[in-house]
């Protein structure tokens, strides 16, 4: 849709201009450097960062010593494999052992100016600390990312994410940094948000994919056509895989008459660590801040570029709490090819699911996002669905409940068969399909819970 922002009628700006509101890049030299320059930059940053971690974090001192490695053992980026990994439960455990910041932190608390917190599955909030410098670096990255998605000083940006300790909250300052008029909307009731969007004639907003859909449907029910009565032309989404599933993204775009840009965030590092540029072909990664490895979750070996594997992250600059080889549990794929926008950073080509979302049905791995893509491609469905997994007579059974649209002409039997065949063809899993009336599944106002696993014991491969 909108490939050009309002400034596009001016003469093209130089690629090296860093002041024009019409320049294509926020930081031209960085964003278009060669892959060799990226690698050299990351190696230099990583050497410095590992030394900072080893010398200032009691946790890393002990963990590196126990593994028999030290900062000098890193001579190439590949050498990172020698270092031990950590995960979310280690973060939680170290924080509980030494409240508030834990001994992974590498600066004294007086240097920390901000913490975000994420509740996680056990309900114990884990905090992510920032020094003043970390916070500035983060805002600069958010600004760069927003710029790549076409946000400009002429935009009115409605930040519709939770502010309460939520890592996405401060991202609004990234929009302010580029000069956009920023509306700190937060999570208000949808009627109120719609009134705000209409009154302020906001041109951009950030929310989750489920909520963008819900809000668009709510608007229509209230007699507001998002395409004509509102001015939203850009929607940034994060928090669920939907924004990178083309079928889901396109349906939100059709509902709003706006472009949808997927962002990926990780509460333990940054609000957004990657985001789509205007080409919408993968998510440009914050490569000068976070080094990525993609590994086979079973063997720990690196997966070749383009392959699916678990994402493991190492921060390169975050002084308050370095993360070295943090296992995210997200199953992803990346490319290092130059994007059509001219940016050369690695691109996240999809979060295919969470390791703990992955369902193993009779020995076959299946991700809910695969089922979602199939349903959303078929316009005889509303797009809302639920996956129920049960164990019947010792065999795993998966039932996909999908809503048909109002006014569907055919029979439920043929619609169910079509969906069943598609699921079988794409995933290799034989699913039962149950066709529901439109509006019978609960609508998500936050992150959608679309999988109900009723099995008592779930085997993983
Ligand atoms: Zn791009």
Ligand 1 centroid, distance to 280 Cα (angstroms): 7
Domain assignment present for residue 3? The answer is: no
Domain assignment present for residue 334? The answer is: yes
Ligand 1 centroid, distance to 340 Cα (angstroms): 6
The mean pLDDT of 144-164, rounded to a whole number, is: 94
Encode pLDDT of 272-296 as tens digits. 999 999 999 999 999 999 999 999 9
Which pLDDT band, with edges at 50, 70 and 90, does 452 fall under?
A: confident
**68 lies in the same domain as 214:** yes
Sign of CA dihedral 220, 224, 225, 227: negative
**425 lies in the same domain as 349:** no
**50 lies in the same domain as 79:** yes
> How much is the pLDDT for 375?
93
Domain assignment present for residue 121? The answer is: yes
Domain that holds residue 375: 359-453
Domain end, chosen from 355, 385, 416, is at 355
Ligand 1 centroid, distance to 345 Cα (angstroms): 8
**142 lies in the same domain as 196:** yes
Ligand 1 centroid, distance to 339 Cα (angstroms): 5
CATH of the domain at 137: 3.40.50.12780
- The mean-pLDDT minimum among 15-24, 234-243, 278-287, 370-379 falls in 15-24
Which pLDDT band, with edges at 50, 70 and 90, does 31 fall under?
A: very high
Structure tokens at 231: 């001015």
**285 lies in the same domain as 428:** no
Structure tokens at 325: 């080889």
Ligand 1 centroid, distance to 284 Cα (angstroms): 6
Domain assignment present for residue 459? The answer is: no
**285 lies in the same domain as 395:** no
CATH of the domain at 406: 3.30.300.30
> How much is the pLDDT for 289?
98
User: 432: which strand partners?
Assistant: 399
Ligand 1 centroid, distance to 326 Cα (angstroms): 26
Domain assignment present for residue 10? The answer is: no
Domain end, chosen from 327, 355, 383, is at 355
Domain assignment present for residue 461? The answer is: no
The mean pLDDT value of the chain amounts to: 89
Domain end, chosen from 331, 355, 379, is at 355
In sequence order, what DSSP letters do the residues of 247-289 get, joined into one string?
HHHHHHHHHHTSEEEEEE--TTS-S-SEE--TT-SSEEE-TTT
Ligand 1 centroid, distance to 149 Cα (angstroms): 9
> How much is the pLDDT for 10?
39
Domain assignment present for residue 251? The answer is: yes
Ligand 1 centroid, distance to 263 Cα (angstroms): 13
Place of tokens 């130059």: 338
Q: Which residue has the higher pLDDT, 428 or 140?
A: 140
The mean pLDDT of 230-246, rounded to a whole number, is: 88
Domain assignment present for residue 263? The answer is: yes
**270 lies in the same domain as 383:** no
Which pLDDT band, with edges at 50, 70 and 90, does 456 fall under?
A: low
Angle made by CA atoms 440, 402, 434, in degrees to the nearest 5: 100
- The mean-pLDDT minimum among 144-158, 162-176, 318-332 falls in 162-176
Place of tokens 């320049």: 23
Which pLDDT band, with edges at 50, 70 and 90, does 123 fall under?
A: low
Rg (CA), the chain: 23
**174 lies in the same domain as 293:** yes
The Cα–Cα gap between 279 and 310 comes to 25
The Cα–Cα gap between 241 and 107 comes to 34
**274 lies in the same domain as 381:** no
**What total of structural domains would you count in the chain?**
2
Encode pLDDT of 210-223 as tens digits. 889 989 999 999 99
Ligand 1 centroid, distance to 343 Cα (angstroms): 5
**330 lies in the same domain as 381:** no
Ligand 1 centroid, distance to 237 Cα (angstroms): 17
**299 lies in the same domain as 395:** no
**56 lies in the same domain as 105:** yes
For residue 241, the 8-state DSSP code is: G
Ligand 1 centroid, distance to 62 Cα (angstroms): 41
147 burial type by CB count under 10 A (0-12 exposed, 13-18 middle, 19+ buried): buried
Which pLDDT band, with edges at 50, 70 and 90, does 7 fall under?
A: very low
């Amino acid at each position: 849709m909108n490939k050009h922002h309002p400034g596009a009628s001016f003469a093209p700006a130089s690629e090296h201009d860093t002041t024009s509101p019409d320049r294509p890049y926020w930081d031209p030299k960085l964003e278009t450097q060669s892959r060799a320059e990226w690698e050299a930059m990351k190696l230099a940053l990583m050497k410095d960062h590992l030394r900072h971690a080893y010398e200032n974090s009691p946790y890393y001192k002990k963990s590196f010593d126990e593994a028999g490695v030290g900062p000098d053992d890193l001579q190439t980026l590949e050498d990172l494999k020698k270092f031990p990994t950590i995960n979310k439960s280690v973060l939680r455990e170290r924080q509980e052992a030494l409240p508030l910041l834990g001994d992974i932190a590498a600066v004294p608390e007086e240097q920390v100016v901000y913490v975000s917190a994420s509740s996680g599955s056990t309900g114990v909030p884990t905090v992510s600390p920032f020094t003043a410098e970390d916070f500035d670096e983060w805002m600069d990255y958010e600004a760069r990312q927003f710029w790549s998605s076409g946000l400009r000083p002429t935009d009115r940006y409605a930040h519709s994410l939770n502010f309460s300790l939520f890592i996405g909250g401060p991202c609004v300052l990234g929009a302010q940094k580029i000069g956009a008029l920023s509306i700190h909307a937060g999570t208000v009731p949808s009627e109120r948000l719609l009134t705000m969007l209409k009154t302020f004639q906001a041109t951009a907003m950030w929310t989750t994919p489920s909520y963008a859909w819900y809000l668009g449907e709510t608007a229509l029910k209230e007699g507001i056509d998002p395409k004509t009565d509102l001015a939203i032309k850009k929607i940034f989404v994060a928090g669920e895989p939907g924004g990178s599933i083309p079928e889901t993204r396109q349906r939100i775009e059709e509902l709003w008459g706006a472009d949808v840009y997927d962002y990926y965030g990780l509460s333990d590092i940054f609000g957004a660590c990657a985001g789509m540029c205007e080409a919408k072909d993968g998510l440009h990664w914050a490569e000068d801040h976070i080094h990525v490895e993609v590994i086979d979750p079973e063997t720990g070996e690196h997966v070749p570029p383009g392959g699916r594997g678990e994402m493991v992250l190492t921060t390169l600059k975050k002084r308050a709490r370095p993360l070295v080889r943090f296992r995210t549990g997200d199953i992803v794929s990346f490319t290092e090819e130059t994007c059509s926008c001219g940016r050369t950073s690695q691109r996240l080509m999809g979060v295919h699911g969470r390791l703990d979302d992955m369902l193993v049905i009779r020995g076959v791995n299946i991700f809910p996002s695969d089922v979602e893509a199939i349903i959303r491609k078929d316009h005889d469905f509303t797009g809302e669905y639920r996956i129920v997994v049960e164990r019947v007579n010792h065999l795993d059974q998966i039932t996909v409940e999908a809503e048909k649209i109002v006014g569907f002409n055919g029979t439920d039997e043929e619609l169910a068969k079509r969906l069943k065949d598609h699921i079988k063809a794409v995933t290799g899993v034989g699913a039962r399909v149950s066709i529901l009336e439109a509006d019978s599944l609960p609508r998500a106002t936050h992150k959608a819970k679309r999988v109900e696993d009723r099995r008592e014991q779930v085997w993983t491969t």
